[in-house]
Amino acid sequence: MIGKPLSLYFHIPFCTKKCPYCNFYVLPNKPIFQEKLIDGLRQEWKQLTPLIEKGTLVSLYFGGGTPSLFDLKYLQEILSWIPSQEIEITLEANPEDLSLEKAKALRAAGINRLSLGVQSLDDELLKKIGRNHSASQAINRCEKAGFENLSIDLMYDLPGQTLSTWEKTIQTAVKLPITHVSLYNLTIEPHTSFYRSQKAIESQMPGDETSLQMYIRAQEMLQSHGLTQYEISAFGTPSLHNSGYWSGRNFLGLGPSAFSFWEGTRKRNICHLNRYQKMVASGLRPIDFTETLPPLAQEREKLAINLRLLKGVSDLPIDRECLKIIDSLIADGFLKKNAGSISLTQKGILFYDTVASEIIL
Ligand code: SF4
């Protein structure tokens, strides 16, 4: 019997230093931590095997942290657990870590998609946000190493960034051998170094109007270079893995702080490597958060997340209240109707938060 589509996520939390805007669970890159992690992942894999065997694996994603720092032999070991490598296998990487040899070794290990945390192609800005790399060369090396599926993350709303420096970054990016771009705007999250100097940072950030212009210019420039927008923040060849998040596919997350979503229930693993390892070693599931929304709230949340995909949603809810909200979002120009399906208009894309907050209970 063929099971439901399933994705797997492995959280590899190591970074060489913490970026000032980052609020992910990250640890210094030490061999002892790497050993603990692989030990924990081995145990957690055993725990999850019965569930994994129920599904049909469609994608695997190494996220972090900086998974390119994880010892190659550990990545190879994880890949040896996977029943089929004919799936999308993505690894997030820091361009600074990728020599040609390293990129070739990752490709040979079975990784077939790289997601590079480029952020900006402006050296001055990179210094301001605590990053230091020459991404263009790294991307060219990855192509040389045989990667045909290369994604980059770009950030706007950065302190000191202007519309013109942002346009230059995109102009440089589109000349590179990339197939996908994810856009992020800088948000200042609690427990980050930027949060502690929020006032000074905010005074250097571009402001709402420029921020909107930056997003619109990115849409125009990326699409005019063949990177078609398929989701609010994603352009190019769709990521099979991320598309699963937006369409409600089951996924299982392994490693400290990893999230899972299984048949409507969301879970998060404990954000502490030692405790994570101890729990899985003693046969416990390492979970510290579980949430199952009531059916109506689930349906609403699914609709709001599905709408992020610009192809729209045809599987409309039957909840009358929600249908009324959809009608008023159509009347206000946030949504449009197309032969039985609904999708975001450009206004809906730009003000997606408004759309989501109307729909979600
Ligand atoms: S590289 Fe990524 S995960 Fe690591 S500290 Fe920077 S933003 Fe956070």
DSSP string, 60-124: EEEEES-GGGS-HHHHHHHHHH-S-SSSEEEEEE-GGG--HHHHHHHHHHT--EEEEEEE-S-HH
Q: Is residue 264 part of a domain?
A: no
> How far apart are alpha carbons 24 and 64 in whole angstroms?
8
Whether residue 207 lies inside any domain: the answer is yes
- pLDDT at residue 357 above 90? yes
Residues 166 and 303 in one domain: no
Q: Is residue 346 part of a domain?
A: yes
Residue 230 maps to a domain: yes
Nearest Cα to 47, choosing from 260, 240, 244?
A: 260
Residue 280 lies in a domain: no
Q: Which of residues 203, 218, 245 is at a domain's end?
A: 245
Q: Given the CA of residue 13, which atom of ligand 1 is nearest to it?
A: 3
Tell me how far CA of residue 38 lies from CA of 20, 70, 305, 308, in angstroms: 27, 9, 32, 34
Q: Which atom of ligand 1 is nearest to the CA of 92?
A: 2
Residues in contact with ligand 1 (CB, 6 Å cut-off): 15, 18-19, 22, 24, 26, 64-66, 94, 117
Residue 134, pLDDT > 80, answer: no
Name which of 136, 116, 120, 117 is nearest 128 in CA terms. Answer: 120
| Ligand 1 pocket, mutate which of 11, 12, 14, 15 (most atoms under 8 A from CB) | 15
Mean pLDDT within 233-243: 97
- CA-based nearest residue to 150, from 136, 139, 158, 166: 139
- Specify whether 27 is located in the same domain as 163: yes
Q: What is the mean pLDDT of residues 281-292?
A: 97
Q: Do 199 and 68 lie in a common domain?
A: yes
pLDDT of residue 325: 96
Q: In this predicted model, what pLDDT tens digit does every residue of 36-77 receive, in sequence order?
A: 999 999 999 999 999 999 999 999 999 999 999 999 999 999
pLDDT at position 133: 62
Are 347 and 219 members of one domain? no
Q: Which of 56, 320, 354, 26 is nearest to 192 (CA)?
A: 26
Task: Using the mean position of ligand 1's atoms as its centre, give its distance from the Cα of residue 283 in Å.
Answer: 30
Q: Whose CA is nearest to atom 8 of ligand 1?
A: 22
Residue 354 lies in a domain: yes
Domain of 208: which CATH number? 3.20.20.70
Number of domain units in the chain: 2
Cα-to-centroid distance, 275 and ligand 1 (Å) = 22
Same domain, 130 and 68: yes
Pocket test for ligand 1, best of 16, 26, 70, 120 (most atoms within 8 A of CB): 26
Mean pLDDT over 146-172 rounds to 94
> Does residue 130 share a domain with residue 72?
yes
Determine the pLDDT at residue 354: 97
* Domain's final residue, options 208, 230, 245: 245
Q: Is 80 exceeded by the pLDDT of residue 293?
A: yes
25 with 96, same domain: the answer is yes
Residue 1 has pLDDT above 60, yes or no: no
Are 162 and 206 within 8 A, CB to CB? yes
pLDDT at 2 over 80: no
Q: Which of 57, 68, 58 is nearest to 145 (CA)?
A: 68
Supply 19's token pair.
């970026």
Residue 338 has pLDDT above 80, yes or no: yes
CATH number of the CATH domain containing 301: 1.10.10
3-state secondary structure of 135: helix
18: CA distance to ligand 1 center in Å? 6
Residue 288 lies in a domain: no
In a domain, 250, yes or no: no
pLDDT at 132: 66
Mean pLDDT of the chain: 94
Q: Average pLDDT in the 182-198 region?
A: 89
Mean pLDDT computed over 336-340:
91
For position 225, what pLDDT does the model report? 97
Please give the residue range of the domain that contains residue 32. 5-245
Residue whose Cα lies nearest atom 5 of ligand 1: it is 18
Give the pairing type, strands 341-344 and 335-338. Answer: antiparallel
Task: Please state the pTM of the whole predicted model.
Answer: 0.94
Closest ligand 1 atom to 64 CA? 3
